[in-house]
């Protein structure tokens, strides 16, 4: 009885706009409880920014940031794009630099250009003040503050997972625009495997039937709203600007998101 009542209250808060202040209050409360430390030799954002992007753990922020940075670099190299070869890289949805704090120094040390962009000006501003590279704020809808063909590689961790289908389609087109011909996009998403293993109880059957499911229809672009995308639907959404190089399923033994490896057409 309690869970259905909570769902009713949450939907009422979504319709009235109260869910935003309530969700921000929950984030502030989580930040006050952030008690762990992580000394990894790199700038660490304040507690309220860590909570915005990764939950209440500095250790997770550090360790998972390092592993995700290595994952993206290794995956790019496997598809012919070396982050240590003086290239242009964009971290789309850079957050508080969880991944950028590991990748940006390597890209810049190799003579490359590193860009970051985020919907939240506090997150982009902290990165600009504390990490190497150029960081900007983007809107919920395109464009990005980059020219056509400006970068060789775009990666986005858990960005498509918080967008409606129409917004995701728009951003896929924009990512294709800022990539050079033959450039690479590495984009994580919640696929069928991830939905079955880690999603809310009703999301997997809905995803099988609908192809694209939005959970908690409010606060688009934030962690409150989650999007679930069938692999074939994501390929279809990207088809206007990309060829699919690889689709890596989501993890079932641990919660690792699926990854779409997309290449712009030459």
| Burial classification of residue 227, based on how many CB atoms lie within 10 Å of its CB (0-12 exposed, 13-18 middle, 19 or more buried) | buried
Distant-in-sequence, close-in-space partners of 194: CB < 8 Å, separation ≥ 6:
228, 249, 250, 251, 252, 255, 257, 258
- Taking the C-alpha atoms of residue 5 and residue 75, their distance in angstroms, rounded to an integer, is 44
Q: How far apart are CA 214 and CA 79, in angstroms?
A: 31
Q: With CA atoms as reference, report the closest residue to 91 among 79, 81, 103.
A: 103
Give CA separation, 244 vs 67, 93, 108, 195, in Å. Answer: 24, 21, 28, 21
pTM of this prediction?
0.90
CB 140 within 8 A of CB 110: no
- pLDDT at residue 1, rounded to an integer: 44
For each of the chain's 266 residues, which pLDDT tens digit applies? 445 656 655 665 555 554 555 545 555 555 555 667 778 999 999 988 998 887 768 998 999 999 999 999 999 999 999 999 999 999 999 999 999 999 999 999 999 999 999 999 999 999 999 999 999 999 999 999 999 999 999 999 999 999 999 999 999 999 999 999 999 999 999 999 999 999 998 999 999 999 999 998 889 999 889 999 999 999 999 999 999 999 999 999 989 999 999 999 98
- Per-position DSSP letters for 88-107, written without gaps between them: EEEEET-TTTTTHHHHHHHH
Question: Which residues partner with 155 through β-bridges?
Answer: 91, 186
* C-beta pairs of 57-61 under 8 Å, 24+ apart in sequence: 58/34, 61/96, 61/98
Q: What is the H or E stretch that residue 250 is in?
A: none
Q: Are strands 242-248 and 151-156 parallel, antiparallel or unpaired?
A: unpaired
Q: For residues 107 and 169, what is the distance between their CA atoms, to the nearest angstrom?
A: 28
Are 66 and 102 in contact by the 8 Å Cβ rule? The answer is yes
Q: Given the structure tokens 């699919």, which residue do they identify?
A: 244
């Amino acid at each position: 009885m309690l869970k259905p009542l909570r769902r009713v209250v949450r939907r009422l808060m979504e319709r009235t706009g109260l869910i935003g202040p309530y969700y921000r209050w929950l984030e502030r409360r989580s930040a006050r409880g952030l008690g762990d430390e992580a000394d990894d030799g790199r700038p660490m954002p304040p507690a309220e920014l860590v909570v915005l992007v990764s939950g209440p753990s500095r250790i997770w922020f550090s360790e998972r940031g390092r592993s995700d940075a290595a994952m993206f670099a290794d995956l790019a190299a496997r598809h012919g794009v070396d982050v240590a070869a003086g290239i242009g890289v964009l971290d789309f949805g850079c957050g508080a630099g969880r991944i950028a704090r590991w990748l940006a120094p390597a890209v810049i040390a190799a003579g490359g250009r590193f860009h970051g962009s985020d919907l939240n000006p506090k997150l982009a501003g902290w990165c600009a003040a504390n990490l190497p590279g150029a960081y900007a704020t983007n809107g919920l809808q395109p464009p990005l503050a980059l020219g056509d063909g400006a970068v060789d590689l775009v990666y986005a961790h858990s960005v498509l997972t918080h967008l409606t289908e129409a917004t995701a389609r728009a951003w896929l087109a924009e990512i294709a625009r800022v990539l050079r011909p033959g450039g690479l996009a590495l984009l994580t998403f919640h696929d069928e495997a991830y939905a079955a293993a880690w999603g809310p109880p009703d999301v997997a059957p809905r995803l099988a039937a609908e192809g694209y499911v939005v959970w908690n229809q409010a606060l688009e672009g934030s962690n409150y709203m989650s999007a679930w995308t069938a692999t074939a639907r994501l390929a279809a959404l990207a088809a206007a600007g990309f060829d699919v190089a690889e689709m890596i399923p989501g993890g079932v033994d641990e919660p690792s998101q699926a990854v779409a490896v997309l290449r712009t057409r030459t």
